[in-house]
Amino acid sequence: MGHDAKEMMMAYQIDLQGKVALITGASSGLGAQFAKTLSKAGATVVLAARRFDRLEALEREITLAGGKAYCVGLDVTDTNSIESLVSNTLSKVPQIDILVNNSGVSSTQRIVDVTPKDYDYVFNTNTRGAFFVGQALGKYMIERAKVAQDAGNSAPAQRIINIASVAGLKVLSQISTYCMSKAAVIHMTQAMALEWGRYGINVNAICPGYIETEINAEHWQTELGKKLIQKLPRKRVGQASDLDGVLLLLASEQSGFMNGSIISADDGLVIT
């Protein structure tokens, strides 16, 4: 068998060795899964959230599995906390190559029952928080690219992955503010991609469908949850690991030709 044939038969792998990924909302749910997935692919991960005790537990888990992980405190509703995010992160790692902009909350009620407090609760985290975290990392990544370009080198491959939602593409009942906030994240993604692409920064978004996490696991066992499952295209909810493939693609250099892409990972919900 020739050398080329052997190469073709080798398993294809995404290797993030030497890369550093910052994950917001990493204390539970999708954020924790994203951190573990990127670590398994070789990346050093920086875990950011408000619940520092949960971050420390995840850091220990990743370290025991042979990965490298660090914790930084972050409240995305606090501008001062966001402003110190990059410097706090760089006190632990040499650079930041990947941002997974993941923090998010939801509120369930009919539109006529939404209060200003409900509205602000969702938008301050999902839209305002995501925007200013993205802005902070964008400023850092642009400066890093300019330094490389001024030295006669190409800009480093840098990635921002915004976690939006199928609810930003398809209106879902009784979570209007959540749908609106995630629709804004989708447009934010494309705006960032348009402005920052020249610096080697690829900005893309993942739009998950219904995913089971520790926060909502009990809901899927209730009568209401079971009824909702029956309305889904394949009558099932996803697992956090179902997002691993698209996450790794967008974090890697293999996604170099993807910028401003909005990728649904929803089991077909958006097309129903």
Structural domains of the chain, with CATH: 15-264 (3.40.50.720)
Which residues in the chain land under pLDDT 50? none
Residues in the chain: 272
SS3 163: strand
Q: Burial letters for 65-101: b for 16+ Cβ neighbours within 10 Å, e otherwise?
A: eebbbbbbebbbbeeebbebbbebbeeebeebbbbbb
Q: Give the per-residue pLDDT at 7.
A: 56
CA distance 159 to 155: 12
CB atoms within 10 A of CB 26: 32
Close Cβ partners of 177 (under 8 Å, ≥ 6 residues apart):
107, 114, 118, 119, 122, 123
Tell me which residues are annotated as active site: 178
Tokens of 71: 């914790």
pTM higher than the cut 0.85: yes
- The answer to whether 53 touches 26, Cβ cutoff 8 Å, is no
**Please, are residues 96 and 89 in contact by the beta-carbon 8 Å criterion?**
yes
